[in-house]
Structure 1
Amino acid sequence: MTHWVNTTHDWAASVDRDHLGAIRADVERYAPGGVLHLVLEVLAYADDEAESAGQRGQCTVTLHEDGSISIADNGRGTDTRVDDHGNVVKKPVMATKDLRFFDDPAAPSLPDGHPRRGMSVVAALSDWLIHTNRRTNGSWTQRYEHGIPVTGLEPVASDGTTGTTVHFLCDLPYADVTPYLGFSHLDVAVVRLG
């Protein structure tokens, strides 16, 4: 049986429905300020990836006409492994608790001054979220609705790059993201469509 070291997330389960439900039941706690906080959660994850790679990363935040937001980075992509049965397993960042921050009263603050909780907050509070992952060993996309995967990992053609794109839509209040884009290892550009 496969046993992987849990650092940021518990590899034992791909979805934690109770955890996602608890987030949806307390929006004010987990997404103070609305969509802005969700954007900052995604940018913090991309910043982590750039820092662990020992480089400065690049990220583009795109504000789409339908109210959705996509955030694309040039990192390594989300960790993906193969289990004992040959099944591809991705790190469950969208649908399980971030072990570093979620329950920690001393979790670091994001640039909006509120505690970091992890990517599951973004997924749980989004009507839909599409996670596209590009790694050197393969690329795929997966769709979530309120944090629950509604598709499997669908292969996408390699374009020679690595990185992660998180595209999501939620109906929380929106605030301008540009005053809050200070991350230590990440250069962020904002693109407005429409």
Structure 2
Amino acid sequence: MDHLRRIAAGPAEFAPGGAGHLVLEVIAYAADEAESRGGGRCVVTLHADGSVSVADDGRGTDTRVDERGRPVKKPVMATKDLRFFDSPHTERLPDGHPRRGMSVVAALSEWLLHTNRRADGAWTQRYEHGVPVTGLTPVPPDGTTGTVVHFLPADQGHGPAPTGDDLTRWAEHWPHLAVRLDDRRMPTSDHS
């Protein structure tokens, strides 16, 4: 909780530029997965309610089954990613700011839904201000694998949502990942 409170108290420090930086934090994980597999895709969807989702075609978040047969996943949404968060040598995201991890996205969102599809099962979990408010809820398999992170930034006035031009420019940073924008904010949108 202290980690999440620290982030929530400093949105300008942890998500400079607002929603665009949060999107980059999520895409960075899809890019890691794409690089490890030699390629991948993700779709960034801007929803009419101000929320954003990032869906990738990777293997899904690592999930194990405990001794009772219950799924247990890495707590990536609510905990400090030790590879990035306090490291002075962390990678820079395409906006020039340091990568800190998924806990930044979760802590700076009103809500976040993490949907995970793996070859051996699928589930979803809801967070509010970074805190899990549900357990892992099974979802029906659909024959795909990957992760969807759908979130509503807590301060929608803090920086604009990314544009198609932003995503095109940022995607050059990750040559193994094809990024597409689906803008559903306007009824006349062409969903490019």
The TM-score normalised by the length of structure 2 is: 0.89
2-side partners of 1:125 and 1:61: how far apart? 18
2-side partners of 1:138 and 1:123: how far apart? 23
Q: Is structure 2 residue 28 aligned with structure 1 residue 44?
A: yes
Match of 1:188 among 179, 186, 190: 179
Aligned to 2:136: 153
Aligned to 1:18: 2
Percent of residue pairs bearing the same amino acid type: 66
Aligned to 1:76: 59
* Unaligned 5+ runs, structure 2: 187-192
Kindly state the Cα deviation for residue 135 of structure 1 after the two structures are TM-superposed: 0.2
Quickly say closer, same or farther: Cα 1:176–1:88, change in 2 above 3 A.
closer
1-side partners of 2:92 and 2:117: how far apart? 28
2-side partners of 1:184 and 1:20: how far apart? 32
2-side partners of 1:174 and 1:41: how far apart? 15
Match of 1:140 among 123, 128, 137: 123
1-side partners of 2:90 and 2:13: how far apart? 14
Q: Is structure 2 residue 103 aligned with structure 1 residue 120?
A: yes
1-side partners of 2:139 and 2:69: how far apart? 19
* Cα-Cα RMSD: 1.1
SS at match of 2:21: helix
C-alpha contact 1:58 1:188 (8 A) present in aligned 2: yes
Alpha-carbon displacement from aligned partner over 1:11-53 (angstroms, at most 9, x marks no partner):
xxxxxx1111111111111101110000000000111111222
Kindly state the Cα deviation for residue 136 of structure 1 after the two structures are TM-superposed: 0.4
1-side partners of 2:23 and 2:103: how far apart? 12
Match of 1:97 among 64, 70, 80: 80
2-side partners of 1:176 and 1:143: how far apart? 24
Aligned to 1:107: 90
Aligned to 1:173: 159
Runs of at least 4 residues of structure 1 off by over 4 A? Answer: none
Q: Which moved more, 1:76-85 or 1:119-128?
A: 76-85
Alpha-carbon displacement from aligned partner over 1:142-165 (angstroms, at most 9, x marks no partner):
110011011111111111000000
Kindly state the Cα deviation for residue 175 of structure 1 after the two structures are TM-superposed: 4.1
C-alpha contact 1:33 1:175 (8 A) present in aligned 2: no
Aligned to 2:190: none
The TM-score normalised by the length of structure 1 is: 0.88
Match of 1:162 among 132, 142, 145: 145
